[in-house]
Amino acid sequence: MLRFIFSSLCLSVLTLSVYVKDADAKAPSMEQLAMQYARVVGQIELINVAFTQMNARCETDFATGPKFLPEVDYLLRKNIDYRFDEFVHWMEGTAETRLLATQIVHEVIAEHGGCDSTALAHWFRYFTESNERENLAFLRQNKLLFGLPKVARSEQKIQLAFNAKINVYQNLSYQEIHDLASALDQGSYRYSLLSLSQSITKDSTKAQTLWQFAVDEFDKPGAYYALGKSLQEHAKDKALAAFTQSAQKGYRFAQTWLGTYYACNNDIPSASFWLDKAKEDGADPEYIDDIYAEIDELGTPTNCVDGWVY
């Protein structure tokens, strides 16, 4: 198993025996990838502890942004099956991290003759930008690491975690909001790489709240499309508006849907416009050609029901 301690900014590997899924020939070796995760998590935790200690010494209020640690936690769960706090605990480096943070804080204060606000602001900005530029950027590469000791998660724990996430969705990343809203629509939720619940209570109203937040906060074309899918059973007018906005933003799935919708309603010029746009933006050309063939042979696509697309 892996064991890491971080007695300096560079972590030391004590023992190592994991399997890492290599995506291609250029992927890092198992040792390199494991070291990268340990280094990144160790640095993030070191910065957290240093901020806490600086706050105690200089009465500052330094902290990572409200969305930073939730995204770190999400990416770790999806990439290595560990929460942030679980991985920190497993590395068994708490004492070493606290000591190093104490040294860093002491040196900064000593160098500037006390709690100089300008110097501390620069120090805080440096570590915050480092977290974003290096640590979060690495985690966003989504490199999968298998072979760590399994974390046991019961169905009850997954559902409790799901409900807790729903209560703080405003501070979550787009991808995690996407996962939560999809779970509310479909009843299936993947909490982490190896933890899945298929017993989530469906709640389309709550799902639409999350999708609407994703639309307002992130303006993602896919969020408009997902909102439309969630709305279509009970509010087709609103769903059509969401599909249209998604298509206008270049989302090929929405463009395909909208082109099919117009074909279902015998508006062939509009159907052709959106189907051609979908093909230009990367939709499967054979699939688009099949829709055209159905229109030519049958008058409308085969997935039309009462003027709607299913």
Q: Name the region of 191 (left: φ>0; alpha: ψ -120 to 50; beta: rest).
A: alpha
% residues pLDDT > 70 (the chain): 91
In angstroms, the CA 6 to CA 93 distance is: 6
What confidence category does residue 27 fall into, taking pLDDT thresholds of 50, 70 and 90?
low
Identity of residue 233? E
% residues pLDDT > 90 (the chain): 88
In angstroms, the CA 2 to CA 282 distance is: 43
What confidence category does residue 34 fall into, taking pLDDT thresholds of 50, 70 and 90?
confident
pLDDT over threshold 70, residue 103 = yes
**Which residues does 115 contact at the CB level (< 8 Å), separation at least 6?**
57, 58, 59, 60, 109
pLDDT (0 to 100) of residue 123: 97
pLDDT over threshold 50, residue 8 = no
What confidence category does residue 29 fall into, taking pLDDT thresholds of 50, 70 and 90?
confident
Is residue 165 within 8 Å of 172, Cβ to Cβ?
Answer: yes
pLDDT over threshold 60, residue 304 = yes
Condensed to tens digits (0 to 9), the pLDDT of residues 146-172 reads: 988 999 999 999 999 999 999 999 999
Condensed to tens digits (0 to 9), the pLDDT of residues 65-80 reads: 999 999 999 999 999 9
C-alpha distances in Å from residue 289, one per residue of 256, 279, 284, 285: 11, 9, 9, 6
pLDDT (0 to 100) of residue 7: 32
pLDDT over threshold 50, residue 139 = yes
pLDDT (0 to 100) of residue 26: 55
Condensed to tens digits (0 to 9), the pLDDT of residues 248-295 reads: 999 999 999 999 999 999 999 999 999 999 999 999 999 999 999 999
Q: How far separated are the first and last CA of the chain, in Å rounded?
A: 49
pLDDT (0 to 100) of residue 28: 66
- In this structure, of 23-32, 75-84, 198-207, 257-266, the range with the lowest mean pLDDT score is 23-32
pLDDT (0 to 100) of residue 9: 34
pLDDT over threshold 90, residue 11 = no
- What is the pLDDT averaged over residues 6-21? 33
DSSP β-bridge partners for residue 304: 309
pLDDT (0 to 100) of residue 278: 98
pTM score:
0.87
pLDDT over threshold 90, residue 15 = no
pLDDT over threshold 80, residue 3 = no
Rg of the chain, C-alpha, whole Å = 25
Provide the residue ranges of all domains of the chain, joining segments of one domain with +. 3-146, 152-218, 235-310
What confidence category does residue 183 fall into, taking pLDDT thresholds of 50, 70 and 90?
very high
pLDDT averaged over the chain?
A: 92
